[in-house]
Amino acid sequence: MVFLKKASIALVASVALMAGSAMANDKPVVGLIMKSLANEFFRDMLEGTKEHAARRGDYELRAVGMQNETDFQSQINAVENFITQGVDIIVIAPADSRAMVRPLKRAMEAGVVVVNFDVSLDADAKKKQGVDLAFVGPDNRDGARLAGDALAKELGAGAKVVIIEGNPGADNAHERKLGFEDAIKAGGLKLIDSRTAHWETEEANTVFSNMLTAHPDIQGVLAANDSMAIGVVKALESAGRAGDIKVVAFDNIPAVGPMLADGRLLATVDQFGRDMAANSIELGLEVLKGGPQLEGWVKTPLKLVVSDKK
Amino acid sequence: MTATNVKVNGAAKSSRFSFKAIIRDAGIGLALIGLIVIFSLSSEHFLAANNITNILTQITINLILAVGLTFVILIAGIDLSVGSVLAFAAVVAGKAITLPGLGPTEAIMLAVMAALLAGTLCGLLNGLISAYWGLPSFIITLGMLNIARGGALHISEAQTIYSFPEQFNDFGSASIFGIPVVFIVALVLVGIAWFVLHKTVFGRMIYGIGNNEEAVRLAGHPVFWYKVAAFTICGLTAGVAAIVYMARLNISSPIAGIGFELNAIAAVIIGGTSLMGGRGSIQGTLLGAFIIGVLANGLILIGLNDFMRQMITGLVIIVAVVLDHYREKYTKV
Amino acid sequence: MSTTPVHNQDLLESPDEEILRVESLRKHFGGVKALQGVNFSLKRGEVHALVGENGAGKSTLIKILTGVHSMDGGKIFLNGSEYQPENPRQAKAQGMQVVHQEFNLLTHLSVAENICFEAFPKTRLGLLDRNEMNRRARAAMEAIGLSDVNVSDSISQWGIAYRQLVEIARALQSKSQILILDEPTATLTDRETDKLFQIIDTIKKQGVTVVFVSHHLNEVFSICDRVTVFRSGESIITEKIADTTPEKVVSHMVGKHLELEMAHNFEAHELGEIALSADRLRVPQSPHESGVSFELRYGEVLGIAGLVGAGRTELLRSLFGVQQIASGCLLRDQSEVVFKKPRDAIDAGIGFVTEDRKEEGLILDMSIAENSSLASIEQVSSAGLMQIGRENELARKNGEVLKLKYGQLKDNVSSLSGGNQQKVVLAKWIARQPEVLLLDEPTRGVDVGAKAEIYSILRSLAREGKALLVVSSEMPELITLCDRILVLADHQIKGELAPDEFSQERILQLAYKGN
């Protein structure tokens, strides 16, 4: 989707330009770079961060988002624009854990405080570039494990389960899958199939319907996000098995509220995305004020949300 | 000059082999039968009643989009925006259906009208702009792809819209003798499209424009409006597909339908409609949609992993089109 | 490449002369017998004409010779060895070059690129050698006598006539034993035709055999050495030009005499009111403020003569609303009309038989019936629904009037010969019964028999009181057909001729006045 990419570069550039003209006070400037704003998760996070900025009032927020999850080209441009504008802090959720290392290194060399959140930059790439950068974010693997454990506890050892994966190649999709697998192993569950539905409801519905046909004895489903869990639940309803096959997911978006309420969804994981960027900004501001450099992995909280009907 | 080629039996070139005759007569249907045979031999579940219901449900949206696209491709156009328009229509309808203070029937009626209107409007714009300035529909509808997607995200604030009336969901999951009602809707659309393409002046003009736009124009026909109509029909079917999406999943998602346009185009092309316009049929599109749906279903049933599945789907698209090329060749001479 | 010794009586008698021999060649397409026993031979360095009505088998024979079609029976010997090319490339490799009626040029490339397209010269690095390419192209164009050409120009800037010459230059540039020219003069003006004949003379002297397919017997008689006549898929006779006459050839072609129909109908007839008139009408391409003014009456056949580029087609297109007029006005039945689109002109009772039937006239992939009803769809439909029965009836009726030769009404028009295709274009308009009919090159690529039939149809339309405006590059056609001829040059009317003034010389004098 080269065209999309081009369009989003233009978008990013124009947003950055507009922001650049309003740089008159001496409050520290924070550049926030997110992934796709089409993703509810980031959309919500942006709102939370704006509230945070208004509440504190002691920094200026400039935020940009991409058009899709993997558009690191636009992110690189955004980093470069922020360097040019002389922002004090860059807070970034990298679209590519390797490609973003070099531009961020340039930012650090220019004296910008960089905070990496949501998805960790690749350790190898950091080492090769000589970058020492902390990661602020939840442990997706831990979170997925929480959901998986809840499922294991419900079903008991030996139960047959399937995983609905996120986009192949996406780090959080990978981490969540690993977390699900950890829980499956620990709980003695039996994994009989694992397929991607690209984070998408309709595709999850189709893919899971077909998995259910192939394996009518499925007892549990681990979906890597809530959108896909919705598709899975609808497939179960169509097949008349809504109560008897248990589903766990990740994200805790509003749309799964009713499903949690009546037990069609057993559990999901809230990673407090709304506060994640704001927390990172707080950390960055501390460093800017002369606090100690961030180190290693600053983990942010995760919470298992379990169905009321359990 | 010395070289002279010797070949005694000139008649050997004529196409009398039974293999060729089979291809010629059965065409793309043969590929579908082949897939069905392979899958029913390799998976006990494939021919089970509930799996057939599943397949029919799963091809419905693609089939509906492909019906509209058949019109556009027959006039040598293309519509890349159908997936995004589906999302846009679904979000507009989702907003309508969740308006406070509406009874379930009013809400559903309003949503259906909203989806059809939103889809039709997008199609109309595609048609007006590309026909008025004579611009390639590829680029205009690529623009619409972004506009409709952005519109869907904007209106929904990137949130999944949920809590639709139960009756709407009932329609989405109902079936008659194992045939999903939504699939019957799609079949009715196929029937209407067949009638329009083969029995009406409009259908004649669609084929004529695809073959030789200038000849149709010089015969005094309003080519502009026929083209606009083809795109509008395509937008309308995207609206219908949006309704099916909502009824089936009971949500409206602004990221619905990403990449659907490619599957729908594939169904049309596999069905033997030429991207150059003027040649093709709605029956072919029906078969094309079945091939894609059966393939997606069957490959999961036989337990192929995601990446192999993707490769094989691509391969089958190419093989189907190559077979169709030969069919075309043998029916001509 | 194997060779087979041939034991052939005729060949042994004249071993040096005969280059190609075709024996009892047969070919069928489905149930249609395209060739049913064709025999003929070519001598080295001769110009050999192939004549016959459309559908007589000339095109099929050429397609077999050039490797496009395979034969179903019979034998071909080239230089005494059996010859059966499997594809056009093999045919070319053996020196069989063809210049088709329909052009095969790449319109967005330059002249040089078109000429060298089959084998681009490369530098040692394997890159395109542009200098060498241009040099070869210039040489090729000079070989056919066109030296003032910038070979870097895009073909699209050139008129249709020059494109033909580029095709010939391209064909001759490869090694040629036999050069087949399929209707080479159909699009050429007389001056260009003369140029072509000089070229043919030159290559003939180089020992190349030229096969000349033409519907113009005057050309055949002025340039060819021998002529073979085809009729209904058979070769009827081969004669030396010196031993025959055009009348004899025509009677072989059609099996009947056509002089009556070909002769001009001089019987004076009453003309009606003015049907269509132009007053200082200026097409957008015209540099002249004054535009053109003329009157066309009911019952009249008005001819427009002129060289390629004189603005004839542009004029017709403006009259039909395909393009807007720049200034001046158009009157229909003596009241002013403005045609914004073809529909307006059609609604005013005007029909337009376009110059290029493949591009503008016909929908080749559609059936004869569907094409016949294209301009009168409201007659064969009701409430937007097609009435297939009525459509077939309309096509059948008009097919009969026009003596259309076809297999079935549901056959694609692409299966018809050029003349019959042209009749379908006529049928399309006649179905509407237009009061005024504009015709642009109504018999291009049409054989003598069909031509005569089309003339007689057009004249009977005029007798019925229709007004006809005919643009043609063939002066004999205008002289045969018209009541009056206007000569157009450089978008201006240079003269008007009454029947007693009709002559090719007079038309040419006027036509060249603009240059």
Q: Where along chain A do its domains lie?
A: 2-138+273-300, 140-270
Instruction: Spell out which residues of chain B touch residue A168, defining contact as CB-CB under 8 Å.
Output: 306-307
Closest-CA residue of chain B to C372: B219
User: Is the CB of residue A220 less than 8 Å from the CB of residue A245?
Assistant: yes
Provide the pLDDT confidence category of residue A99 given band limits of 50, 70 and 90.
confident
Question: Does residue C257 surpass a pLDDT of 50?
Answer: no
User: Is the CB of residue B86 less than 8 Å from the CB of residue B260?
Assistant: yes
- Find the length of chain B: 333
Is the CB of B14 inside 8 Å of chain C's CB atoms?
A: yes
Is the CB of A43 inside 8 Å of chain B's CB atoms?
A: yes
CB atoms within 10 A of CB A101: 22
Q: CA geometry: angle at C485 spanning C251 and C298, to 5°?
A: 95
For residues A212-222, average pLDDT: 96
Provide the pLDDT confidence category of residue C14 given band limits of 50, 70 and 90.
very low
Is the CB of C3 inside 8 Å of chain B's CB atoms?
A: yes
| Rounded Cα–Cα distance for residues C320 and C348 (Å) | 10
Q: What is the DSSP letter of A100?
A: T
For residues A32-46, average pLDDT: 85
Is the CB of B276 inside 8 Å of chain C's CB atoms?
A: no
| Rounded Cα–Cα distance for residues C376 and C428 (Å) | 7
Q: Using the beta-carbon criterion (under 8 Å), do A230 and B251 form an inter-chain contact?
A: yes
pLDDT at residue C414, as a whole number: 86
pLDDT at residue A80, as a whole number: 92
| Closest listed residue to residue A251, CA positions, set A277, A280, A228, A219 | A228
Question: Between B158, B161, B251, which is nearest A38 by CB?
Answer: B158
Q: What is the DSSP letter of B333?
A: -
Q: Using the beta-carbon criterion (under 8 Å), do B160 and A206 form an inter-chain contact?
A: no
Question: Does residue A8 surpass a pLDDT of 70?
Answer: no
User: What does the domain layout of chain C look like in residue ranges?
Assistant: 107-174, 271-349+435-515, 365-433
For residues C17-27, average pLDDT: 89
> Cα C118 vs. chain centroid, distance in angstroms?
26
User: Is the CB of residue C365 less than 8 Å from the CB of residue B211?
Assistant: yes
Identify the CATH number of the domain in which residue B288 sits.
1.10.3470
For residues A242-249, average pLDDT: 93
| Closest listed residue to residue C183, CA positions, set C159, C215, C217 | C215
Cα of C29 to nearest chain B Cα, Å: 6
C184 or A135, higher pLDDT: A135
pLDDT at residue C159, as a whole number: 66
* B15 falls within a domain: no
Q: Which residues contact C219 (CB under 8 A, 6 or more apart)?
A: C185, C193, C197, C212
Number of domains in chain B: 1
pLDDT per residue as tens digits for the range A157-178: 999 999 999 988 888 899 999 9
CB atoms within 10 A of CB B1: 15
Rounded to the nearest 5 percent, the helix, strand and coil shares of chain A are 50, 20, 35
* Contact B/A (≥3 CB pairs under 8 Å): yes
Question: Between C71, C322, C365, which is nearest B278 by CB?
Answer: C365
Instruction: Spell out which residues of chain A touch residue B308, defining contact as CB-CB under 8 Å.
Output: none
* CATH architecture, domain A2-138+273-300: 3-Layer(aba) Sandwich (3.40)
Instruction: Spell out which residues of chain B touch residue A241, defining contact as CB-CB under 8 Å.
Output: none
CATH value of C271-349+435-515 in 3.40.50.720, 3.60.10.10, 3.40.50.300, 1.10.10.10: 3.40.50.300
CATH value of A140-270 in 3.40.50.2300, 3.10.20.30, 3.40.50.150, 3.30.413.10: 3.40.50.2300
Q: Using the beta-carbon criterion (under 8 Å), do C1 and B221 form an inter-chain contact?
A: no
Q: Using the beta-carbon criterion (under 8 Å), do B160 and A255 form an inter-chain contact?
A: yes
Domain boundaries, position B82:
32-332
Residue-wise over B281-291: b if at least 16 C-beta within 10 A, else e?
bbbbbbbbbbb
Provide the pLDDT confidence category of residue C198 given band limits of 50, 70 and 90.
confident
Neighbours of B, requiring at least 3 CB pairs below 8 Å, are A, C
| Rounded Cα–Cα distance for residues B70 and B76 (Å) | 10
Question: Does residue C105 surpass a pLDDT of 50?
Answer: yes
Provide the pLDDT confidence category of residue C2 given band limits of 50, 70 and 90.
very low
* B13 falls within a domain: no
Q: Is the ipTM of this complex over 0.85?
A: no
| Rounded Cα–Cα distance for residues C233 and C25 (Å) | 10
Mean residue pLDDT of chain A comes to 87
Mean residue pLDDT of chain C comes to 84
Backbone φ/ψ region at C215: left (φ over 0), alpha (ψ -120 to 50), beta = alpha
Instruction: Spell out which residues of chain A touch residue B49, defining contact as CB-CB under 8 Å.
Output: none
Q: Helices B181-199 & B223-249, crossing angle to 10 degrees?
A: 170
Provide the pLDDT confidence category of residue C268 given band limits of 50, 70 and 90.
low
Q: Using the beta-carbon criterion (under 8 Å), do B3 and C72 form an inter-chain contact?
A: no
Is the CB of B57 inside 8 Å of chain A's CB atoms?
A: yes
Neighbours of C, requiring at least 3 CB pairs below 8 Å, are B
pLDDT at residue A10, as a whole number: 47
Chain C interface test: which of B5, B7, B192, B206 (most C C-beta within 10 Å): B5
Chains B–C, number of C-beta pairs less than 8 Å apart: 120
Q: Using the beta-carbon criterion (under 8 Å), do B204 and C370 form an inter-chain contact?
A: yes
Q: What percentage of chain C reaches a pLDDT higher than 70?
A: 90
Is the CB of C1 inside 8 Å of chain B's CB atoms?
A: yes
DSSP string, C460-476: HHHHTT-EEEEE-S-HH
pLDDT in tens, chain B (333 residues): 333 333 333 333 333 445 655 555 567 788 899 999 999 999 999 999 999 999 999 999 999 999 999 999 999 999 999 999 999 999 999 999 999 988 999 999 999 999 999 999 999 999 999 999 999 999 999 999 999 999 999 999 888 999 899 899 889 889 899 899 999 999 999 999 999 999 999 999 999 999 999 999 999 999 999 999 999 999 999 999 999 999 999 999 998 999 999 999 999 999 989 888 898 999 999 999 999 999 999 999 998 998 998 899 899 888 877 877 776 666 554
Structure token pair of residue C125: 């690095």
Question: Between B14, B211, B218, which is nearest C365 by CB?
Answer: B211
Provide the pLDDT confidence category of residue C339 given band limits of 50, 70 and 90.
very high
What residue spans of A131-289 are helical by DSSP H?
140-155, 171-187, 201-214, 226-238, 257-262, 273-288
> Cα B252 vs. chain centroid, distance in angstroms?
21
* Contact C/A (≥3 CB pairs under 8 Å): no
Question: Between B146, B149, B301, which is nearest A214 by CB?
Answer: B301
Relative to beta strand A246-248, strand A220-223 is parallel
Q: What percentage of chain C reaches a pLDDT higher than 90?
A: 37
| Rounded Cα–Cα distance for residues A304 and A87 (Å) | 37
Question: Between B200, B211, B212, which is nearest C385 by CB?
Answer: B200
Instruction: Spell out which residues of chain A touch residue B162, defining contact as CB-CB under 8 Å.
Output: 230, 254-255, 258
Question: Between B13, B208, B220, which is nearest C363 by CB?
Answer: B208
User: Is the CB of residue C487 less than 8 Å from the CB of residue C493?
Assistant: yes
Q: Using the beta-carbon criterion (under 8 Å), do B153 and A193 form an inter-chain contact?
A: no
User: Is the CB of residue A199 less than 8 Å from the CB of residue A226?
Assistant: no
